[in-house]
Amino acid sequence: MNATIVKLALQALLGRRRFWLLLGLPLALIGLTVLISSLSSDGEAAWPMVSFLGYPLVLPLVAILAASSVLGPEVDDGSIVYLLSKPVSRHVIAVSKWVVAWTATVGVGSLGVLAAALIAGGGDRALAWWIAALVAGTTYSALFLALSAFTRHAVVAGLIFVLIWEGLAGGFLSGVAWLSVGQWGIRVGHEISSLLDDPANLPWAVIASLVVTIGGVWFAGDRLRSFALTEDE
């Protein structure tokens, strides 16, 4: 990891308008959860805000925005060429970028899920959702960093992945839940609270999350190593 690249990536993340959207999504989640909790006498009324909005939608959207902010703009404006001209390993660059994206994802997205879960009812279920969000957020940040290194349209590709694939695997096609990043996190969270689903084998969920995380960061570095700025990019 390179401290200078981490600093530059952090400046890129904090200095763009999408950071405010990244921050606004969890705040909106928390606000809606507070509203539902205050208006309903049903102690379970606010939990769908966590399980159907916060975890499967807000968390990956935060990861998309964070990962695309630390790498995508440099590809778009051509400044990536200046960065790649420095005698720094491409994989060190990728790891440094991922650390910033991961920090933003777990610091904003995962904590947003935890806050909403605490407001919804707290207890072991809130802790379980937080653990699930940590696992999924870590994997999402690496996966979307790889997308940002692969295509200029990483945000669009990430949205398609989240809305179509994760939505189908998580909500409708239970037979392929073992291929869903979100479901891997839920399976780990299930170890804390049985109120969460048990969609996949635990060793598979842990190993798959590690493989995608490490593989995503490695792919981003490999893509940077072979990067050539063309008219299409």
Residue 232 located in a structural domain: no
Query: pLDDT grade, residue 233 (50/70/90)?
Result: very low
Query: pLDDT grade, residue 29 (50/70/90)?
Result: very high
Residue 233 located in a structural domain: no
The encoded tokens of residue 228 equal 């050539």
The tens digit of pLDDT for each residue in 82-126 reads 666 667 788 888 899 999 999 999 999 999 999 999 999 889 999
Residue 165 located in a structural domain: yes
The predicted model gives 185-211 an average pLDDT of 89
List the end-to-end C-alpha distance of the chain, in Å, as a whole number.
Answer: 26
- For the entire predicted model, the pTM comes to 0.90
Are the C-beta atoms of 51 and 42 separated by less than 8 Å? no
What's the domain count of the chain? Answer: 1
The tens digit of pLDDT for each residue in 41-65 reads 787 889 999 999 999 999 999 999 9
Residue 82 located in a structural domain: yes
Q: Does residue 227 have a pLDDT over 80?
A: no
Residue 27 located in a structural domain: yes
Residue 230 located in a structural domain: no
CA dist., res. 21 & res. 76, Å (int):
20
List Cβ<8 Å contacts ≥24 apart for 43-49.
43/121, 44/121, 46/116, 46/119, 46/120, 46/121, 47/117, 47/120, 47/121, 47/125, 49/116, 49/120
Cα–Cα distances in angstroms (integers) from residue 34 to residues 31, 41, 47, in the given order? 5, 13, 11
Candidate ranges 73-82, 105-114, 174-183, 189-198; pick with highest mean pLDDT: 105-114
pLDDT of residue 231: 41
Residue 53 located in a structural domain: yes
Query: Chain centroid to CA 78: how far?
Result: 25
Residue 23 located in a structural domain: yes
Q: Which structural domain, as residue segments, surrounds residue 158?
A: 3-225
The tens digit of pLDDT for each residue in 147-156 reads 988 888 888 9
**What's the CA angle centered on 130, arms 25 and 206, to 5 degrees?**
115
